[in-house]
Chain A
């Protein structure tokens, strides 16, 4: 009966909205999941030489985009420090659109969970990795392929539920 069409459409919309209430419309998922890390070749902070995407292969790593001017990075920092110390996770830091002196000062003050800190002053690597706000953390497997992106500060829950299992599976 065509008179039932309106109520059926309403039912469909309500289901859609109920599902929509659970999602965050501002979160932008990464199209790089399942793809190799984008190419880069940048200088390091506090040491000579440079670092490229090839250096990311061979073991699972976390690549954490941060900056000294970023508030969320301060929030996640203790979590990263804990991961680096207790779980022996290799975290490579990408210092995004930052002045090297500021990064050095900031890390001196808050401690550094990073094996290496790469300088992405212009934000070119950020653009290639699809970074739209710091902090963001990328999980790479041993083949240098991105398997997960943590948008926003790293949390213990995210580590426990999503990232640790991926890294355990990726360690070959």
Chain B
């Protein structure tokens, strides 16, 4: 019954979404305020219905209703409750419902927080969001219904994929989807600008907080995904340039370009059609990601079980929505003219260069991800494009970006004087170079060129970010005036750039100084790795809620003192009979020690004899995710800046209009 209610709710939501599109569209066309107002009520109704449907599916999982095919395929009586709930988004159909539910959430937010927007812009924006909803709802109802029943009802389910039975699964997909879906708001605002022919600083000011919020969720989702892969996959890696990872990284890169471009458009009214294009691109890449992951055209550990019919639907949807958007862009964008001069050596000029590198980086990732498909489609053979390519191509594009991060904050708008800039940056330059040489030498005793280069970039971003805050605070008279007087947007920017530097440091150190060893140990035997002594204390059988495991104990000592006792496991999940490596990580901010069980080397079934183990020493590994966390925090601060919360009256004083059709 619950399942049918959920299904029905989706159908009603489709109806509400159709109303959400067509009535406001009519209202914009005929300038009818009542029709425009329908947008909000239709949108809120649709959101509520979708939340209800999501609740129905969650209910079915919580109460283990195996008559629902999706529940039977992804759950099990022994599955712990927390994973029963996360199993809702564990496979294709349910994750689509999560997508649609999150879209409902963003739609609801836009329908509430739009006091400062003209009625026709709100209506157009909600109508565009409605088209996205219609696309995904139709996709679910026609090809991927999570509420399909299963008869005869099985006594037990097939269980959630063991790789997904991890805390990472609880939070990574929702956060990532918040980002993917959130870019649809910027997209909708961009379409509204094209349709209305109006794009001014006020438009940029409305769009920025929404876009920054989507961006920070995307950053959080990607960071969590990397952290999760590290813990779960057992090979110590944290980024593989896998097509599905790239599918999230490309919209992130373009989204980063977008938030910077919006700054230029807001401040100086420049780059209008470029900003609109970026907004369409960012969301377009999100849709592309959806296609790549669910259609079966690429091979990935992350890919959902594919079905060409589904692939055809998504491709069709993608073609229609992006085709219409780009055609609208080609038609209307030339009318979004900007008045104003831009020179390269100014903040807006440097931000333009920033955009160049970010967009080319995204294009390069796209090229590498799609190239095997291209070669195969042209029947020229089969090739693979993996980490060696992406690292070779991405790092040279990334380095100039980090350099500019340090410069851009000190460069003023409109025109900069080289002498001033050099004076400002002399001290950070010296500190960064010194730190890049001294720190690795001190910690590790040797500093290869790659480390000094990467270290310089990281320290450069960190020191210049700190300097910016320092400079601004010093201009105020008291500490509290300094802390609260500096705009949140500036705090956010500095913190995000600081995070970028921390990330760069983490990547540099982990890439150059990681040590990995495969060993064979008997219980009681010890081995040394990078100054740490690892004593294998044997393996004993354990029984978990839905798995049986070989539970290992390894004691780690440093200079004779016990530093940690870790428990790597090899789990056999009973329902699926799938083996999982549960790596054990001991971490401090400065280093990770990672131990994974390989295979039992003794012949007896108890597995209590010798084992093959994999040991890793990874310095500064935490900085990779800490950097991401700082970027997210920076985004939160930037999105909640006071000037986005101005009233309508104050708004009128601030707005500068230009270019009307």
Residues of A within 8 A of B (CB): 1, 3-4, 6-7, 10-11, 13-14, 16-23, 25-29
Contact = CB atoms under 8 A, between A and B. Distances in A.
A25 B299 contact: yes
A20 B376 contact: yes
A13 B319 CA distance: 10
B644 to A, nearest CB: 29
A21 B330 contact: no
Interface string B360-372: 0000000000101
Given A21-B308, A28-B382, A16 B374 contact: yes
A7 B330 contact: yes
Given A7-B323, A25-B299, A19 B381 contact: no
Contact of A4 (B297, B299, B315, B330): B330
Interface string B400-411: 000000000000
Contact of A20 (B281, B297, B323, B330): B297
Given A3-B329, A28-B382, A21 B315 contact: yes
Nearest to A15: B377
B329 A21 contact: no
Given A3-B334, A16-B377, A21 B326 contact: no
Nearest to A25: B299
Q: What 7 pairs between A and B have smallest CB-CB spacing?
A: A7-B326, A19-B377, A20-B297, A3-B330, A6-B326, A20-B373, A25-B299
A26 B301 CA distance: 12
Contact of B297 (A1, A7, A14, A25): A25
Contact of A21 (B284, B295, B322, B374): B295
B372 A6 contact: no
A27 B381 CA distance: 11
B333 interface: yes
Nearest to A18: B315
- Of the candidates B273, B319, B381, the one having the most CB atoms from chain A within 10 angstroms of its own CB is B319
A21 B311 contact: yes
20 contacts: A1-B330, A3-B273, A3-B333, A6-B326, A6-B330, A7-B323, A7-B327, A7-B330, A10-B284, A11-B323, A13-B288, A13-B370, A17-B315, A17-B373, A20-B297, A21-B315, A25-B296, A25-B298, A25-B299, A29-B382
Contacts of A26: 299
Given A10-B319, A26-B299, 5 more contacts: A7-B326, A7-B330, A18-B315, A21-B296, A23-B373
Nearest to B288: A13
Nearest to A29: B382
Interface of B: 273, 277, 280-281, 284, 288, 291, 295-299, 308, 311-312, 315, 318-319, 322-323, 326-327, 329-330, 333-334, 370, 372-374, 376-377, 381-382
Nearest to A4: B330
B254 to A, nearest CB: 12
A43 B280 CA distance: 64
Contacts of B370: 13, 16
A34 to B, nearest CB: 13
B327 A21 contact: no
A15 B382 CA distance: 19
B300 to A, nearest CB: 9
B333 A14 contact: no
Contacts of A19: 377
Nearest to A3: B330
Given A7-B323, A21-B308, A16 B373 contact: yes
Contacts of B323: 7, 10-11, 14
Contacts of B334: 3
B49 to A, nearest CB: 32
A21 B281 CA distance: 23
A26 B322 CA distance: 29
Contacts of B382: 27-29
Contacts of A4: 330
Contact of B291 (A7, A17, A23, A29): A17
A25 B373 contact: yes
- Of the candidates A1, A13, A23, the one having the most CB atoms from chain B within 10 angstroms of its own CB is A13
A25 B372 contact: yes
B315 to A, nearest CB: 5
Nearest to B334: A3
B323 to A, nearest CB: 6
Contacts of B296: 21, 25
Nearest to A24: B296
B330 A25 contact: no
B376 A6 contact: no
A25 B376 contact: yes
Nearest to A26: B299
Contacts of A7: 323, 326-327, 329-330
A17 B318 CA distance: 11
A4 B333 CA distance: 10
A25 B374 CA distance: 11
Contacts of A21: 295-297, 308, 311-312, 315
